[in-house]
Structure 1
Amino acid sequence: MDSRPIYPIIAGPTASGKSDLAIQVAKAMGGEVVSADSMQIYDTVHIGTARPLISEMQEVPHHLLGFLPLNEKYSVARYMEDASAVFADVLSRGRLPVMCGGTGLYIQSFMENRQLLEQADNAELRARLLQRAESESGQVLLEELAAIDAATASRLHPNDVHRIVRALEVYYSTGRTMAQQEELSHACPSPYVGCLIVLNFRDRDVLYRRIEQRVDRMLDSGLLEEARTVLMQSKDATVLQAIGYKELLPYLEGKISLEQAVQDLKIQTRHYAKRQLSWFRRMTAAATLYVDEYEDHAALTQAAISAYNDFVRRLRDGNNEER
């Protein structure tokens, strides 16, 4: 019988309601929320990253939120170290870690206990590439990346300068593409078992409406001012390449109208949600819950708890393949 601790993972696209669901699941099961979001780790940025409200975090303890300075880099390997430390602490106090987020790479790497290759870190090369991006444009570097790593390039936008530069840095430092780096990493037995619960929508238009409403709420709550503050603090902040900020930069720089920036933000957020759903479809989920099929939050919460309990029962009975 598998006696490893089993923890729920609430995953899904942006605006699917996963943060609210994770809070309700944690409250019902004596848990604490462990974030798996690559942008909510940064301080200062609350609105654009849709970080849970202080009042919500007072209901249930949250971890790995807002602890990193804007100008500091972060990696999957570091996330795994940090999340492992949080899990050990939460479990030592008899509580249940409830992982929640939309960054599929973080979730999958932690579930698989993936041992990552040492990451390329060439500050001089990175500086040269960033200088080229400024003088030649992100589009030029993206085309350069496409010639050597088409798979990674296809997922990036010319404005994703830091990610383009990172992919080029990895290739020129190691001779391997990002995908090859991933292939050479390997999964190891994990001390925990993740029960992946993915949120989705039968009617995709429902998700898109939620996205548009969320963007409008963010703008009403001060997203523009937050983006301006980040830009003033650090023009090189990683978060400025995140959806919700990079679309507003051209407006803040006087290059496009606010109306165009908002339209771009809504379009790019929809595209991001599609990419998130594609990632989670490639993973083995214990359950997929279609949010628009549930009449209220209570019913959705109960469905998630039931999915977790069923998974635990199957695993403890030895009928579920070990992950």
Structure 2
Amino acid sequence: MTKIVVIAGPTASGKSDLAIQMAQRFNGEIISADAMQIYRTLNIGTAKVSPAEQQLVPHHLIDIVDMTAAFSVAEFVTRADQAIADITARGKLPIIAGGTGFYVKALLGEQALDYVASDAGEVAQLQNQSLSDLVAELQASSQELAHRVDLHNKQRVIRAIQIARHGKQTTPIARPTYEALTVGIDWPREVLYARINARAEQMLAEGLLDEVARIFAAGGETLQSGKAIGYKEYFPYLTGDITLADATQQMQQDSRRYAKRQLTYLRHQIPGLKWIAGEQAETTMAQWLSDWLAK
């Protein structure tokens, strides 16, 4: 059975750093399990690893879709399975790192998913059509789906067309099963909150508002990416409704609340997860991983 390592935890807990450290020590490559790091050009607000860090260790499932695109957990699982197979075939260790617990749960086979029965060639053909032509096809195929989907969102229209053409299956296609070492990084609550607050300030200093403005101009909260914490809190600032300080305070508060939800989800939804203290994460993880690989 293929061995994989999963490093989970709340936002700002240090997942990316720990994954890089372990990949360097154990000949690994990293697969991102972050629902926002898939988006090209959105680097600061997603806390994406830098180009320099990506040079240290190969990363997968980062920068794979445009910021206006929709992306499903089923698509993540399909791509992650492919990446794991490729990494393993090259004799390296797949290390999955990210805070999107639903992605982790689905990858580990603990969550039933909706799959659309179509191939990459069909998707590419649909992508090449204009939105107006796609909407016309959808309306001709299924008025019910056309009324339920956002007709201004090309990715959602394409998915609806696929469902109209092929139907939807909730039993996943045959997937590999993995032997996983699954670890969550844990910090004292006050330390984690301080890390979250500090990272928000750092993001601002690095140019977060440029990314906010780009998403806002492309559609804001009508986009899947525009609903993300770290971006949506600043839209009222761009329209002059609140101050920058108020927007940042809201972003920090939303991030802290999100971290709390992440911790609850991981504790109750990810079986076999072992918690590791943030202060000793590198040393403890290296020992755990060494022992586990030797079995």
1:190–1:85 Cα change, 3 Å: closer
Cα drift, residue 195 of structure 1: 1.0
Aligned AA for 1:20? Answer: D
- Corresponding residue for residue 301 of structure 1: 282
Cα drift, residue 116 of structure 1: 1.7
- Residue 46 in 1 paired to residue 21 in 2? no
Partner Cα distance (2:194, 2:146) in 1: 42
Mapping for residues 123-202 of structure 1, pairs under 5 Å: 123-127=146-150, 190-201=176-187
Cα drift, residue 250 of structure 1: 1.0
- Residue 289 in 1 paired to residue 276 in 2? yes
- Corresponding residue for residue 218 of structure 2: 233
Mapping for residues 190-229 of structure 1, pairs under 5 Å: 190-201=176-187, 203-229=188-214
- Residue 257 in 1 paired to residue 243 in 2? yes
1:310–1:285 Cα change, 3 Å: farther
- Count matched residues: 254
Partner Cα distance (2:150, 2:93) in 1: 43
How many percent identity over aligned positions? Answer: 36
Aligned AA for 1:228? Answer: A
- Corresponding residue for residue 62 of structure 1: 59
What per-residue deviation string (whole Å, max 9, x for no partner) do you get for residues 68-102 of structure 1?
Answer: 01111110111011001111111111111110000
Q: Structure 1 unaligned runs (5+)? A: 131-164, 174-180, 295-299, 317-323
Aligned AA for 1:112? Answer: G
Partner Cα distance (1:188, 1:303) in 2: 35
- Residue 270 in 1 paired to residue 256 in 2? yes
- Corresponding residue for residue 99 of structure 1: 96
TM-score (norm 2): 0.79
- Corresponding residue for residue 119 of structure 2: none
Cα drift, residue 186 of structure 1: 7.6
Aligned AA for 1:127? Answer: D
Aligned AA for 1:264? Answer: Q
What per-residue deviation string (whole Å, max 9, x for no partner) do you get for residues 260-279 of structure 1?
Answer: 11111000000000011111
1:286–1:279 Cα change, 3 Å: closer
- Corresponding residue for residue 142 of structure 1: none
Do the aligned partners of 2:267 and 2:273 also contact (CA within 8 Å) in 1? no
Cα drift, residue 205 of structure 1: 0.2
Cα drift, residue 53 of structure 1: 0.6
Partner Cα distance (1:286, 1:279) in 2: 11
